Structure 1
């Protein structure tokens, strides 16, 4: 096993990791980005299912300092987003400091040396002054444990591990789950497969996406008049920012979303039983509000069936639901989301007191400003607990975090303090305020969602506006941290 010293280790090469690398390059701080996949992109490298794309406008789902005038559509597809990240890594000269195909097996803080030991899958161990965890929240597929699953003789895979070698033409395909990935790939599957059976646990509020290909004239205008592109981005930012009140309980905007969804269902679905099955019984926003232009039209196809009875067990030829009905199936595609409640798992992370992060985070993950945890010195998180959004672009939040963490690391490099971690009282106060604000939002309503922990505490979403988050992270405050 070889050992090397590394000033800053960044774990993950998706939007967060590349952004953090650019921030440190700007500050002339040496770093290494460690990525378990064979390519840059994070979730956009791993998710290659048909129709994969973003539900945030392309102008906002990109770095503010690296605007792209020639997006092909209003909402970019995964391949274009991944290409954009590759281009940014090259343009800002961080590609040469990204180690691909190497997984972090463990990270341990050594109090006596005031450093982190980062063990890699290739047998190396890096000794780092600081670690930035930029692994995101959507990287570990979640697959339910169904009885008899090992007996199924067909093909089964998760949407995030799409089997491109599996020809669906003429097949009977089961799609388990009706969330954000299903509404993107199921329309494509329905055009190929003989039959599609959607096993739906609960319906979603879905509003029109209004996606379209961008005209060449629009691209030329944005390329030759950069101010126009900046103004468009600013307009779109404020349109989303001003929609935050829709996520407060009993909001008027939320009811308008519900009305729009119901109107689309009424105009596309003739079967009254199917209409009822596709209409949620919880307030809009409690789960993620989804965008689609062809979801309900797809479910109205003759070769698509929606089943609301839960799966009871698998057998060699298919599944039987709890109501006793058997369904013959050739292929199962899981659209069951990701393990989002255990942030940073499964990496074993050990802090100053030799306590594992997963133990420190019981009963649920929490962090000061979503970026730092008491007793874990010189460790920072991108897209950490309570930093997800329901109303805007996560890229904005990541840029706030990158600047803040860059300031903190810059302070470390100037040796004004050798090790820092947020104070416990400050962290407790921040999280108490966050949860109090979240209690006034629709995310706390009676529905199950990936926003919540098993105890009902909202562990993923930010509690307020993007502007407020920017204000809180605009300047690193040393007084909020213990220093050694």
Structure 2
């Protein structure tokens, strides 16, 4: 085992991990290392390469405010462009020299005597750090359902987040299982070349019309030369998105015009009344993530496409049998079934004060943190895009940036206080969690009549921030020392 020592250990190189590393480097700090399981930076935008993969947040908002890109080619950029943006940031700040690629975090523990984190990897290395920052995010572990008989299937099967580009879908009978954000994007891309498209749908999504227009080169040049104009455009997009939070958080009646537009879109695009009924949600819009596409319904309004809503009874060697007993021959199965969200932190199964395991503690008591960033009993550990900081209306990159600033303030408080560690008080965390869950009870995610990936296995929303993002900014722009304990190491240690 090789032991490495550092001041700050970051896990992950998506927007969170890269953003944290960049801000440390901007401040002249070199005492940090980044663990990355893959061989390149990028997080979810490296992993997801399925056809049509794109962001559903406008590009100028889905980027770091301190690292603007005036040359986004479309209003909603595709995966290649976002991936290139993240790689360019890594190049600009020479982040790769601080990244340990091919290093998968397997757990660790807090050394109370030395006030240091010991983190191990599946490759056999150990990292000792004063501060631990999780940038693993929630959308990185594919959720693959357990289908009866799937082990007998002799065709190709893969998850959209692990797209097998070696498989040519041309002329194939393709079964797509799931109708979430990824399916809405890749189904139109493959529908025109497959022989048959079978879409197995459990619950229809609200899909609104969205034309992804190109940004003319002249506008890109103006954004590059007039930063004030680019910032004004970003701000206009931000505040437009914020307006949706009013309806999502306790005023769902305000969303009825949006629902009306969604139903009208379905009626316009889908000619078959039976299919139209299958694709029309029965829950309030916003209860699940609102999606946008001008091509999804067109792809399903085809003689080669079939939407199956009865569920899957069995998978056979070359076919799928639905619960009505109908057997359909299949060459390829594509899972569009999302990710393990509320259990996405399992790789960060560290032991805190008294040896308390994070994952087991959260499984027993529910995922709870203070501000989605710090957890009681885990000193000097910080979560970026942690519990209840996800969004259904705006850019999570905005949330990540506020969290990075908060972490830096916490580190600064430790160092200025001549302490070794900072730990959130349990009563502060409990008060915050109670407040969040009280607000969520009034939100459309709880009252809208659906079950979504926002909820954990007990039906509690551990994912969404219930409110405006500017309110989160207000909560995190300063750190209150009274909410924390400052700790000293019990023995001297050099890092």
The bucket for the TM-score relative to the shorter chain is over 0.9
Give the secondary-structure state (helix, strand or coil) at the position aligned to 1:157: strand
Query: Could you say which residue in structure 2 is the equivalent of 1:374?
Result: 376
Q: What residue in structure 2 maps to residue 191 of structure 1?
A: 192
Paired residues of 2:117 and 2:132 also in contact (CA < 8 A): yes
**What are the ranges of 5 or more consecutive residues in structure 2 without an aligned counterpart?**
488-495
Q: Deviations over 1:150-178 (max 9, x none)?
A: 00111000000000000001100000000
Residue 471 (structure 1) aligned with residue 481 (structure 2): no
1:417 to 397, 416, 419: 419
Aligned to 1:5: 5
Runs of 4+ in 1 over 4 A off after TM superposition: none
Shift of 1:28: 2.7
Pairwise CA distance, 1:404: 0.3
Is residue 213 of structure 1 aligned with residue 210 of structure 2? no
What is the distance in 2 between the residues matched to 1:347 and 1:69?
Answer: 36
8 Å CA contact retained: 1:207, 1:260: yes
**Could you tell me the TM-score, scaled by structure 1's length?**
0.98
Match of 1:67 in 2: 68
Alignment of 1:271-350 (within 5 A): 271-350=272-351
Deviation track 1:243-286 (CA, whole Å, cap 9, x = no partner) reads 21121345344111211111111111111111110000110001
Judge conservation of contact 2:249–2:467 (CA < 8 Å) in 1.
no
- Note if 1:434 corresponds to 2:442: no
Write the distance in 2 (CA, Å) between the matches of 1:401 and 1:60. 17
Contact residue 107 and residue 347 of structure 2 kept, 8 A:
no
Q: Determine the structure 2 residue equivalent to 1:95.
A: 96
Distance 1:417 1:447 in 2: 47
Residue-pair matches, total: 484
CA distance in 2, matches of 1:363, 1:256: 39
User: RMSD in angstroms over aligned alpha carbons?
Assistant: 1.2
1:128-153: CA deviations, max 9, x gaps?
A: 00100000000000011111110011
Does structure 1 retain, via aligned residues, the 8 Å contact 2:454–2:461?
yes
CA distance in 2, matches of 1:157, 1:177: 13
Separation in 1, partners of 2:276, 2:325: 23
CA contact (8 A) 2:149 2:316 kept: yes
Aligned to 1:152: 153
State TM-score, norm by structure 2.
Answer: 0.96
Match of residue 358 from structure 2: 357
Report the counterpart of residue 385 of structure 2 in structure 1: 383
Structure 1, unpaired ranges of 5+: none
The offset of 1:416, in angstroms, is: 2.6
Matched, 1:462 2:451: no
Cα deviations by residue, 1:55-79 (Å, 9 ceiling, x for unpaired):
0000000010111111111101111
User: What's the CA shift string for 1:108-127, capped at 9, x where partnerless?
Assistant: 11111110001123322111
Distance 2:419 2:480 in 1: 13
Q: Equivalents in 1 of 2:425, 2:278: separation in Å?
A: 49
- How far residue 40 of structure 1 moved from its aligned partner, in angstroms, is 0.7
Deviations 1:169-195 (A, max 9, x none): 110000000000000001111111110
Per the alignment, residue 401 of structure 1 pairs with 403
CA contact (8 A) 1:343 1:385 kept: no
Check conservation: 1:367, 1:373, Cα contact below 8 A. yes
* Mean Cα deviation higher: 355-364 or 59-68: 355-364
CA positional deviation for 1:48: 0.3
Partners of 1:363 and 1:384 in 2: CA distance: 16
Question: Does 2:466 match 1:447?
Answer: no
Distance 1:120 1:420 in 2: 25
Q: After superposing the two structures, state which structure 1 stretch, 360-369 or 408-417, moved more.
A: 408-417
Q: Deviations over 1:89-116 (max 9, x none)?
A: 2223323212212111212111111100
Contact 2:105 2:347 in 1 (8 A): no
**Aligned-pair CA distance for 1:457:** 1.0
CA distance in 1: counterparts of 2:65 and 2:286, whole angstroms: 27
- What is the aligned partner in structure 1 of residue 266 from structure 2? 265
